[in-house]
């Protein structure tokens, strides 16, 4: 069975979101330069299409001005894909050592 594809950026986003739900800009700040604000929303949208993350708009208080912000969190499927990729990555980093041993 094929493991669903997960780019480096998507993996980073899932890792950041696995701790808590965040806004797009928060993800950019937390990534310490790895994510750009111009591309993060496009990537998040694509990840929504793939079913890795889900989003909803925050509830605004009465009298609030401006557009409501969008919050993101990983889906159970997204976390499973991340876990699968992490185990593959772990296996790949271990294998040379095993060969040497």
Partner 1 sequence: MMPGTTLHRLAAQICSAKTLERVVEPAIADLQKEYADAGLRSRLERARILLFGYAGVWEGMAMTALDMSSRADTDRRALLRAFIWGTAVTVCASAMLIALTIAAAPVFAPFYIALLTPMTLPIALPIGLTLGIACGLSRGPVSRLTKRAVLFSAVLVTVVSFSSMAWVKPVANQAFRQSVFNAIGGKGTVVKGLHEMSILELRRAVNMAPRGDVDQTPQRAIWIYQLTFALPLAPLVLAMLALALVAHGARRATVMAMCVAYFGVLMAAEALVYEGLSPVAAAWIPNVLFAGALVYFASSGPPNVQSSLSPA
Cα separation, 73 vs 97, whole angstroms: 36
Instruction: Rank residues 23 and 86 by Cβ distance to partner 1 and give the closer one.
Output: 23
By the 8 A CB rule, do 41 and 22 touch?
Answer: no
74 touches partner 1 (CB under 8 A) = no
- Which span (1-9, 11-19, 31-39, 86-94) binds partner 1, by CB under 8 A? 31-39
33 touches partner 1 (CB under 8 A) = no
Instruction: Rank residues 68 and 87 by Cβ distance to partner 1 and give the closer one.
Output: 68
> Could you list the residues that contact partner 1 (CB under 8 A)?
23-25, 36-39, 41-42, 44-46, 48, 55, 65-70
């Amino acid at each position: 069975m094929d493991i669903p594809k997960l780019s480096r950026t998507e993996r980073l986003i899932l890792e950041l979101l696995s701790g808590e739900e965040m806004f797009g800009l928060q993800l950019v700040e937390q990534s310490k330069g790895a994510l750009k604000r111009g591309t993060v929303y496009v990537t998040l949208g694509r990840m929504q299409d793939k079913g890795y993350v889900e989003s909803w708009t925050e509830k605004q208080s009465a009298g609030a001005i401006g557009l409501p912000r969008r919050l993101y969190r990983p889906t159970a499927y997204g976390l499973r894909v991340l876990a699968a990729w992490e185990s593959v990555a772990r296996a790949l980093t271990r294998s040379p050592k095993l060969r040497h041993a």
